[in-house]
Amino acid sequence: MLNLIIPMNDMDVHQTASDLQAAASEAGDTRAVRALDKAMLHYANGVRPMLTTGGWLIASATTLNQVYRVSTSHGCNCEAAAKGFICWHSAMTEILEAAQARQVPPTTRPRSAKQQAAEAALNELYG
């Protein structure tokens, strides 16, 4: 899971959501499309998840003082997720993580001499 250290503008988030919706639609996953739609509706209305240890906290859009946790290992603890459905809480975190991943440049550390030698040996064997 990524830490939200890179500021994201709404256009990046909307473009990422659109791309995820297109992929879900192309795969025929109407439940994912609906969850992504709901996530973006709530995002447009100002709902923002809060990053916490091991996951995210997201306020319920329908129940006052209810907060759901989207865990990196256990998913969301909302009623829809408990029934096996894709919830908008998980969809929102997916959108934000994907949007941030697009902004993080890949790390390109120079390879050490050992790494270069190992790569050359592998290429010779399997290349």
CA dist 101 and 103 (Å) reads: 5
pLDDT at 30 exceeding the cut of 50: yes
pLDDT at 104 exceeding the cut of 70: no
At 7 the pLDDT is: 55
Q: Among residues of the chain, what percentage have pLDDT more than 70?
A: 88
At 2 the pLDDT is: 44
Alpha-carbon distance values, 78 to 30, 58, 73, 83, 103 (Å) = 20, 10, 15, 9, 29
> For the chain, how many helices (H) and strands (E)?
5, 4
pLDDT at 1 exceeding the cut of 50: no
pLDDT at 111 exceeding the cut of 80: no
